[in-house]
């Protein structure tokens, strides 16, 4: 298979970037998209050129690092797949493919196709946790949870934090990501103590990072490699509204303890 | 403490969206009432005159409703403007190639439609409430003849129809999105389906468009002014 690649090249955060065109030959349908990039980098290295920087780790769709905007679609044309799970049989001989990094102010450029997604980590740090007392290990089935609740929570927990939702959103909003975390923890009994604080803190951090707002276009749900539903955004909105209405900042008390 | 709490809510993207949702609901309810009242045009000048008097049963109440509606529109537009600015700032560099998959024409154009509707509201008040612009022979409390004459100009009627198209698009996206913004929609395997919004948008557009279309095809014959008949 012959292909023409247009790949975003940018040597550093402040450098001027541009799309470079690379004609590719000998691409096999069974190759993954990243294997095709390995081939490109092999070729560039042999030609004495700088290989394309792209992030990748597990290459099996669970780490969320292989992020590429492929011809305008986050992770390419396959539904429910990351870039590493995308195979070249999705394309046909003679295709032109545009490959760009995630574009968002909150995801600053590092190099070529690699952006910094630490903003997601800071949203998690703001409230994406539960508090558990230390001590003896507790019985796993001590708290009974309905299967439907577990299923819904697990659907949200499949989020791998890749950022495709932000990349695909016309407002570069992180609502699907933040909504998934708030839903995943807020549905479970263990997530109740911090539920209000979590919704307020995570939403506030999401805004501080400079992500846009949600206009419910549905693009995030379509791009998400884990097919997380925009229902999680609805849940985040409700949790935020309820928390904003009833949450009172704890009073400072003299002498901690 | 209360101010900072409100300021925090207004400062958040979700807080602004919730304000837009609530003011949007106010707008939808108003639009449904306004459209139903408009259809009295097909009953005649007397019915429209009585309708105008009915709305003026209590002037303080009428003014409370007017100010409430103006506040709702202002908050809705201000939140939309500020959110759009944040959205633009959130993606300083655009994609060379973009391929949206499921977004609708309504969602993509809702900001432009909103600006058009804002211009329309100002024009419409000057035109039909105050009779200051493009309103030949305007007589206070004779809405039938004011509408008949005011919409006889095809350019004006065309602008009304264009605005109703934008309103339909606004409702098609907004009345579906509002339940999600407020977090009250039921979980759905197909959350992008929107049957209720389609019906609501169609009813409102057709109900409103009937008036300028009626005026253009001459469905509203000249009638003696009920205001003159009462000797005001």
CATH of the domain at A66: 3.10.20.30
- CA A194 to each of CA A132, A146, A154, A189, B31: distance values in angstroms, whole numbers, following the listed order: 11, 20, 19, 11, 41
Give the rounded percent of residues in chain A with a pLDDT score beyond 90.
90
Q: What pLDDT was estimated at residue A255? A: 56
In a domain, A30, yes or no: yes
In a domain, A35, yes or no: yes
Residues A136 and A210 occupy one common structural domain: yes
In chain B, DSSP assigns E strands to: none
In b/e form, how buried is each residue of B147-169, taking b as 16+ CB within 10 angstroms? bbbbbeeeebbebbbebbebbbb
Give the confidence band of A252 by pLDDT, cuts at 50, 70, 90.
Answer: low
* Best A102, A183, A217, A220 residue to mutate vs chain B (most B CBs within 10 Å): A217
Rg (CA), chain A: 21
Question: Total structural domains in chain A?
Answer: 2
Distance from CA of B71 to the nearest CA of A (A): 21
- What average pLDDT does the segment A184-195 reach? 95
In a domain, A253, yes or no: no
In this structure, of A69-83, A207-221, A243-257, B78-92, the range with the lowest mean pLDDT score is: A243-257
In a domain, A112, yes or no: no
Residues A66 and A158 occupy one common structural domain: no
Residues A37 and A79 occupy one common structural domain: yes
Q: What pLDDT was estimated at residue A254? A: 59
Residues in chain A closer than 8 A to B100 (CB atoms): 72, 170, 217, 219
Residues A80 and A121 occupy one common structural domain: no
Contact B97 A71 (CB under 8 A): yes
Nearest to A69 among B86, B95, B183 (CB): B95
Is residue A257's pLDDT more than 50?
no
Q: Which of residues 158-177 of B touch A (CB under 8 A)?
A: 173, 176-177
The CATH number that applies at residue A202 is 1.10.1060.10
Torsion angle of the four alpha carbons A237, A240, A242, A244, in this order, in degrees rounded to the nearest 10: -140
In this structure, of A28-37, A129-138, A226-235, B155-164, the range with the lowest mean pLDDT score is: A129-138
**Cβ pair B20, B80 in contact under 8 A:** yes
Residues A52 and A146 occupy one common structural domain: no
Contact A234 B11 (CB under 8 A): no
Shortest CA distance to B103 belongs to which of A67, A230, A206, A211? Answer: A230
Contact B16 A213 (CB under 8 A): yes
Is residue A191's pLDDT more than 90?
yes
In a domain, A182, yes or no: yes
Residues A75 and A196 occupy one common structural domain: no
Give the confidence band of A46 by pLDDT, cuts at 50, 70, 90.
Answer: very high
Give the confidence band of A140 by pLDDT, cuts at 50, 70, 90.
Answer: confident
Residues A140 and A236 occupy one common structural domain: yes
In this structure, of B146-150, B169-173, B226-230, the range with the lowest mean pLDDT score is: B226-230
Is residue A250's pLDDT more than 70?
no
Shortest CA distance to A93 belongs to which of A159, A138, A41, A29? Answer: A29
Tell me, yes or no, if B13 comes closer than 8 A to chain A by beta carbon: yes
Give the confidence band of A94 by pLDDT, cuts at 50, 70, 90.
Answer: very high
Residues A173 and A199 occupy one common structural domain: yes
- What average pLDDT does the segment A130-158 reach? 90
Q: Determine the structural domain holding residue A95 and report its residue range.
A: 3-100
In a domain, A109, yes or no: no
Q: What pLDDT was estimated at residue B231? A: 56
Nearest to A230 among B13, B89, B191 (CB): B191
More confident residue, B157 or A138: B157
In a domain, A110, yes or no: no
Is residue A92's pLDDT more than 70?
yes
- What average pLDDT does the segment B74-96 reach? 98
Is residue A139's pLDDT more than 90?
no
Tell me, yes or no, if B127 comes closer than 8 A to chain A by beta carbon: no
Residues A91 and A122 occupy one common structural domain: no
Is residue A27's pLDDT more than 50?
yes
Residues in chain B closer than 8 A to A214 (CB atoms): 13-14, 17, 181
Kindly report the number of other CB atoms within 10 A of residue B92's CB atom. 11
Collapse the DSSP code of A100 into the 3-class scheme (helix H, G, I; strand E, B; otherwise coil) and give the result: strand
Residues in chain A closer than 8 A to B17 (CB atoms): 213-214, 237
Q: Which residue of B has its CA nearest to A213?
A: B13
Residues A124 and A239 occupy one common structural domain: yes
Is residue A164's pLDDT more than 90?
yes
* Residue at a domain's end among A67, A100, A133: A100
Q: What pLDDT was estimated at residue B228? A: 75
- What average pLDDT does the segment B7-21 reach? 96
- What average pLDDT does the segment A140-161 reach? 94
In this structure, of A94-103, B137-146, B183-192, the range with the lowest mean pLDDT score is: B183-192
In a domain, A232, yes or no: yes
Residues A201 and A86 occupy one common structural domain: no
Q: What pLDDT was estimated at residue B5? A: 83
Contact B17 A237 (CB under 8 A): yes
Q: What pLDDT was estimated at residue A7? A: 98
Is residue A134's pLDDT more than 90?
no
Residues in chain B closer than 8 A to A239 (CB atoms): 183
More confident residue, B106 or A250: B106
Distance from CA of A188 to the nearest CA of B (A): 17
- What average pLDDT does the segment A12-24 reach? 97
Give the rounded percent of residues in chain B with a pLDDT score beyond 70.
97
Query: What is chain A's mean pLDDT, rounded?
Result: 95
Residues A240 and A121 occupy one common structural domain: yes
């Amino acid at each position: 298979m012959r292909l023409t690649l247009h790949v975003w090249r940018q040597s550093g955060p402040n450098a001027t970037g541009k799309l470079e065109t690379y004609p590719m030959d000998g691409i096999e349908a069974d190759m993954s998209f990243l294997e095709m990039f390995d081939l490109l980098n092999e070729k560039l290295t042999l030609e004495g050129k700088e290989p394309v920087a792209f992030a990748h780790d597990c290459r099996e769709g669970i780490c969320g690092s292989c992020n590429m905007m492929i011809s305008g679609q986050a992770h390419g044309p396959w539904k429910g797949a990351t870039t590493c799970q995308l195979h070249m049989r999705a394309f046909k001989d003679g295709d032109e493919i545009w490959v760009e990094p995630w574009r968002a102010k909150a995801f600053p450029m590092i190099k070529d196709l690699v952006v910094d997604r630490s903003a997601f980590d800071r949203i998690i740090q703001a409230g994406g946790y539960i508090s558990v007392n230390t001590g003896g290990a507790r019985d796993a089935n001590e708290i009974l949870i309905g299967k439907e609740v577990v299923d819904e929570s697990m659907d949200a927990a499949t989020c791998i934090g890749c950022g495709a939702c932000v990349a695909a959103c016309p407002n570069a909003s992180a609502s699907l990501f933040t909504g998934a975390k708030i839903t995943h923890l807020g549905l479970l009994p263990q997530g109740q103590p911090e539920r209000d604080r979590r919704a307020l803190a995570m939403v506030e951090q999401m805004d501080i990072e400079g992500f846009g707002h949600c206009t419910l276009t549905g693009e995030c749900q379509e791009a998400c490699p884990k097919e997380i539903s925009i229902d999680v955004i609805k849940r985040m909105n409700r949790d935020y509204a309820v928390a904003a209405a009833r949450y009172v900042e704890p009073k400072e008390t003299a002498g901690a303890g | 403490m209360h101010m900072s709490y409100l300021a925090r809510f207004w400062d958040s993207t979700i807080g602004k969206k919730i304000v837009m949702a609530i003011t949007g609901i106010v707008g939808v309810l108003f639009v449904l009432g306004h459209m139903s009242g408009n259809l009295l045009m097909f009953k005649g000048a007397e019915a429209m005159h009585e309708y105008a008097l009915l709305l003026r049963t209590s002037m303080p109440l009428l003014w409370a409703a007017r100010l409430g509606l103006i506040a709702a529109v202002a908050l809705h537009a201000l939140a939309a403007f500020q959110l759009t600015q944040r959205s633009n700032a959130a993606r300083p560099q655009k994609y060379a190639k973009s391929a949206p998959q499921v977004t609708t024409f309504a969602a993509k154009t809702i900001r432009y439609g909103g600006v058009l509707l804002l211009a329309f509201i100002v024009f419409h008040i000057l035109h039909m409430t105050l009779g200051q612009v493009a309103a030949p022979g305007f007589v206070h409390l004779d809405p039938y003849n004011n509408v008949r004459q005011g919409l006889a100009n095809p350019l004006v009627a065309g602008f009304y129809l264009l605005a109703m198209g934008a309103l339909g698009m606004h409702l098609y996206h907004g009345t579906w999105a509002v339940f999600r913004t407020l977090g009250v929609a039921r979980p759905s395997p197909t959350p992008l389906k929107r049957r209720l919004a389609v019906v609501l948008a169609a009813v409102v557009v057709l109900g409103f468009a009937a008036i300028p279309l009626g005026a253009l095809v001459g469905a509203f014959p000249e009638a003696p002014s009920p205001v003159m008949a009462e000797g005001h």
